[in-house]
Amino acid sequence: MTAPDPVRAARALRGSAAAVLVLEGIAVLFVPRGIAQSGDGLGGVELILLLVLAGVLVLASGVQRRPQGLVVGTALQVPLLLTGLLNGAMWFVGGVFVLIWLYLLQIRKELLGSPFGDPAPRGDGDPAA
């Protein structure tokens, strides 16, 4: 199945990817709170790493307009999942976000023919298309 208007579908999917990355950044900001409740404590290095990851995730949402945006977002799924090393609940939260991201890439592949890259506009000769 392909989208009737690939350019419009790509724009919508880029917006969805940006929204997922912002939500991931917000979820990472909750990790210190979870660690504080568990009593383990959070060192300065871990806190800085979490804040940097949250910031990079939010900044990556703005890069989704560019062709490499999906590649950057896909690469950031690994450190998101690895936040589970700091707090066990993040294995689940990160895993859910990774599954959402993979589902988004699968939808993009079905609608546009490729999970990455820009779609080619319809070229059937009709200028209204």
- Kindly list the averaged pLDDT for each block of 10 residues, start to end, along the chain of length 129: 73 90 92 71 82 94 89 94 86 93 91 73 52
Q: Give the contacts of 19 (CB within 8 A, at least 6 positions apart).
A: 61
Query: For residue 2, what are its two tokens?
Result: 């392909």
In the prediction, which pLDDT does 123 show? 55
Pair 94, 78: CB distance under 8 Å: no
Coil/strand/helix, residue 62: helix
